[in-house]
A and B are shown apart, each in its own frame.
Chain A
Amino acid sequence: MVAQLLFFYFSGMTVLCAIIAIASPNIIYSALSLLVTFIHIAGLYVMLHAEFIAAVQIIIYAGAILVLYLFVLMLFNPKQESRSVHRQLPVAVFLGVVLCGMMILAAFRTEILGQKGTITMVAPHTQAIGIALYTDYIFPFEVASLILLVAMFGAILLAGRTVRRKN
């Protein structure tokens, strides 16, 4: 009962703040309500027994990515978007409703045939993630670090060009 109440609180706040983020004409408000969305998604992760992912969600999404967005927003000080409805709104609502309805229908009609694992019985999840990360997933882990390196080079090259010219 408590779990269901918590689920309704977290999911309701997630969806509500996501709608506010999409609908608000002020981009700063959008970014801040997206922050609330991310924190409540971390709550959903805790309810799904994924404590490490919840911590990483708060540290990376709420701590790093949103702060990066807010830095860029305050660098540009963008004007408010006009409140008039975009001409793609009917297409967007149609696509959103149809895709969401189809996926919900598929989720409720599907039987899971795969074999269940035993991950909750062996160890705490964080320990299991660490063991899996450095044994089975060591190659994707290295590739991810390479991708982060390339992203860092790309960001410096793209955004720091005028600074280099001045020197």
Chain B
Amino acid sequence: MVPLEWYLTVGFLLFAIGIIGVLVRRSVIMVLLSIELILNSANITFVAYADALQSITGQMIVFFVLTMAAAEVALGLALVIALFRARSVLNVDEINLLRG
């Protein structure tokens, strides 16, 4: 039997890795991939608590988070495509169209 805290630790480690990825990587696509990692860490935490508390609510929330993730990826990648067509740049440090 694996205790609840170990699962939570895996989720928190994934969250930290995702945060580091969002802040460090330069490509827009890598930032979106790191956001996927953060969403997965939240999902692991929800499912771990759902198992520990013997409740179905955690798994339901994970189901809706998956829906959100699908919508977010579709919109985010559409924005990336539009950005690449307009400016042909994928580096977050170079997206400065509004800078005077």
- Chain A residues with CB under 8 Å of chain B are 3-4, 7, 11, 14-15, 18-19, 21-22, 27, 30-31, 34, 37-38, 41, 44-45, 47-50, 52-53, 56-57, 60-61, 64-65, 68-69, 72-73, 75-76, 78, 81-82, 86, 88-89, 91-93, 95-97, 99-100, 103-104, 107-108, 112, 114, 116-120, 125, 128-129, 132-133, 137, 140, 144, 147-148, 150-152, 154-159, 161-162
Contacts and interface: CB of A to CB of B under 8 A. Distances in A.
Interface of B: 1-2, 4-10, 12-27, 29-30, 32-34, 36-37, 40, 43-44, 47-48, 50-57, 59-60, 62-64, 66-75, 77-82, 84-85, 90
Q: Which of B4, B8, B26, B33 neighbours the largest number of chain A CB atoms within 10 Å of its CB?
A: B33
21 contacts: A3-B1, A7-B6, A14-B14, A22-B24, A27-B27, A48-B51, A61-B66, A65-B73, A78-B27, A81-B25, A82-B26, A96-B20, A99-B19, A107-B9, A116-B53, A133-B63, A144-B64, A144-B67, A155-B74, A158-B81, A161-B85
A89 B54 CA distance: 40
B66 to A, nearest CB: 5
B91 to A, nearest CB: 8
Nearest to A95: B19
A68 B74 contact: yes
B86 to A, nearest CB: 10
Main DSSP-derived SS at the B contact region: helix
B14 A91 contact: no
Q: Which of B52, B67, B68 neighbours the largest number of chain A CB atoms within 10 Å of its CB?
A: B67
A132 B79 contact: no
A78 B83 CA distance: 14
A76 to B, nearest CB: 6
A49 to B, nearest CB: 6
A159 B82 CA distance: 6
Contacts of A129: 56, 59-60, 63
Contacts of A22: 17, 20-21, 24-25, 30, 34, 37
A120 B53 CA distance: 10
Given A76-B84, A151-B71, A11 B33 contact: no
Given A52-B59, A53-B62, 7 more contacts: A53-B63, A72-B81, A91-B23, A107-B9, A129-B63, A152-B74, A158-B82
